[in-house]
Amino acid sequence: MLENYSIHTDLALEDKERFESDNVEISGVSVEEVYNHEKEIQITTVKILTENGAKIMRKPVGTYITMEAPNMAVPDDEYQMEIAEELAMYLKEVLNLGKKDYTALVVGLGNRDVTPDALGPHVIEELRVTRHIIREYGKYAMDEKEAHMVSAIAPGVMAQTGMETSEIVKGIVSEIKPDFVIAIDALAARNTKRLNRTIQIADTGINPGSGVGNHRQGITKETLGIPVIAIGVPTVVDAATIVRDTMESMMSTLDTTDKYEAINKLIAPHLYGMFVTPKDIDETIARLGTLVSEALNLLFTKEISEAESSEENSSKGAQDCIDK
């Protein structure tokens, strides 16, 4: 029954939820939830621990961190910076960065001419690239306590270049030899409430276009030979999903199996190839691009260390109050 109930989503959290709704436990998958009341951010960590869990979840073994904030896309610069700081700290944790110097390649996936798919290129436009400066003048020219060599590329899509994106990235990696790759892409969601309000971090790399059925070669540690961290924001939802959700509420009295069978028969076939996005997507993509680029800029400079130190002091102060 679950296999026939087709959904399009790139979010591991939503793949897990589809089983929870049917009271199905998955062996080899763990979930941890944390809510930051001060910043109103829900953090859910889904860990796929075994190959059995990976097969059922239809995602590789690894860690998937989802940040949800209802006001993420609201034009509030101060709140956007708070989310960026939170994102930067989780990225540092996933990458397990030490104090040593490192080099990073940031890849902005997507088509800049298709707004819902333009998140990656928007991030690259506002990212502080430093490799050329450090190579020419040394890291002290950056006037930062911690400055690392950062390169960036927005490789476009296969229809524009005639090449698989993974082929382009693989060529760059073999030439500049970064320590890791961070890939940014727009995702597809199952729930409309998560559109432009959710960020997913995955240490498994990414398969561009998989959420909308356009399966391309993966950009992963297996294909590149170095760690690949994926950052994604859901910007589209399957039109058939919206119709299905509406019909489900109308058929709430039916048995679950009968309900799914009736819905699948009634949904027009052409809806399965249609994806929709909010009407204000232009402004939203620009804001989210700025948010993600700010997080990366914090990650690669001294500011993340200062922000993390401030966070630790705040947590220590709170703990001291509890102890007293």
Q: What is the pLDDT along the chain (324 residues), one digit of tens a residue?
A: 334 445 678 999 988 887 765 556 788 899 999 998 888 999 999 999 999 889 888 899 999 999 999 889 888 999 999 999 999 999 999 998 766 788 999 999 999 999 999 999 999 999 999 999 888 888 777 766 667 899 999 999 888 899 999 999 999 999 999 999 999 999 999 888 899 999 999 999 997 655 455 556 889 999 999 999 999 999 998 877 777 677 666 666 556 556 556 666 666 566 666 778 888 999 999 999 999 999 999 998 854 444 444 444 444 443 443 343
Among left, alpha and beta (phi > 0; psi -120 to 50; other), residue 196 is left
* Domain segments of the chain as ranges: 12-323
pTM of the full structure? 0.82
The class level of CATH for 12-323 reads: alpha beta
